A and B are shown apart, each in its own frame.
Chain A
Amino acid sequence: MSLETEIAALVAANNKLIDYFNGKKTAIDAAVSAAIAAAPSMVRVYWVDQQLGDDANGLGTEASPFKTLQQAINATPDGGRVQAWLSKDYVMDKHINLTGRRLIVAGVAGSGRRLTINEFMPEGDTLLRMGSFWASNDSTVQLVNVTVSLPASSAGDLSAYYGLVFASGSSAPIMLQLRMYNCAFELRGTFRGKLFGPGSVLFALSMIGTAVPSALNGSLIPGVSAGTLSKDVGHVVTNLSSL
């Protein structure tokens, strides 16, 4: 075999190798793109309008908002974070199940958005609860630029779960966490519930630009009485001086 023939064979083999490489590269690129496109975004931003929104057909956009915070959570992957902008004031009269999501409920700064918490009686129960965030696993709650309106508590015994953020059972987070940024409280009467309910034994409470009425002292953390200095309570991490 002449040298020319051997070189021609080598070039042919090399070209086949290049073709094979290019084919594989294109296939790999396409597979990676498809995988990225298929992976759900773990960070979601939705709008919620309790009056005009639509959980069944809404897109969660400002123009096509969801109706409930629960739908904003459900549309977010487990372990993800959802920022729910309130288009209007929102009434909470049931549990909102976070099921592992990290939730931010926000009003546009200066909008005066109100989160009105009402009592309710769970089906099959005999003790009143209040609208609340039911945390589990990695759940955290942040409230931003909203006024939290707490109910005048009814007479009689209240459920231990009569608290704004609580957990229950084996799925409870290691630590119940609540951050309030530029929020305010409104008391519609004597509130006998808690900011944190039961479920976890560790608590993180961060308040930035948020005033707490003295009537809520002792109602922030279960088992921590009014006037307790935060530095004396090892299971509570907070920037508040006293509880």
Chain B
Amino acid sequence: MQKTFLNVVYGDNTYNGFDFDALPIGAALLVAQQQIEQAADQARSAVLGDPLRAIENQLAEDEAKAFKQAGYAGEVPLTVQALVDAQGVEPMEAAEAILQEAQAWHAAVCSIRAARLKGKVEVLKATTHAQAEAYADTAINAIRASVSGIV
């Protein structure tokens, strides 16, 4: 985690340009939680890209899922057809590829969420700066590991 030049609003003060170890313990816990959130935001963004791309992915997944549930029969959904046209594969193969990729995203997002929530709760148990740092580093590493190999 970042330990220098930290800014955090805590209590009646804004702490500017502080070293982590120089912060009051309450502010240090808050900083540790914020850095876990920040790591989760970065990881989520790396997996899903911007929100509009996430919507596109969700649309493709929904249509691929419906197409599969229909036994790959009927009109090929546009999002599936786009992959067929791009890669020259069969519609069923394209739908499976979309669903497989969506599954990887789901897993990553759930892992990020789990590590984020767990890490934030654990940080609050810390009574020293060193403990807070250790909890935060564990959570941040878990979050980053969640997306390695996916992005």
Contacts and interface: CB of A to CB of B under 8 A. Distances in A.
Contacts of B19: 209
Interface in B1-36: 5, 7, 9, 12-19, 22
A240 B14 contact: yes
B16 A214 contact: no
Given A239-B5, A239-B7, A209 B13 contact: no
A209 B17 contact: yes
Interface in B40-60: none
Interface string A195-237: 0000000000011111111110100000000000000000000
A214 B13 CA distance: 5
B15 A211 contact: yes
Contacts of B5: 208, 239
A2 interface: no
Contacts, number: 40
A213 B13 contact: yes
A57 interface: no
A212 B9 CA distance: 9
Nearest to B17: A208
Interface size class of A (residues with CB under 8 A): 10 to 19
B14 A214 contact: yes
A209 B14 contact: no
Q: Which residue among B9, B13, B16, B19 has the maximum number of chain A CB atoms within 10 Å of its CB?
A: B16
A195 to B, nearest CB: 12
Contacts of B15: 211
A239 B13 contact: no
Contacts of B9: 214
B12 A207 contact: no
| 9 A-B pairs with the lowest CB-CB distances in the bound complex, closest first | A207-B16, A208-B17, A211-B13, A212-B14, A241-B7, A211-B15, A214-B12, A207-B17, A240-B16
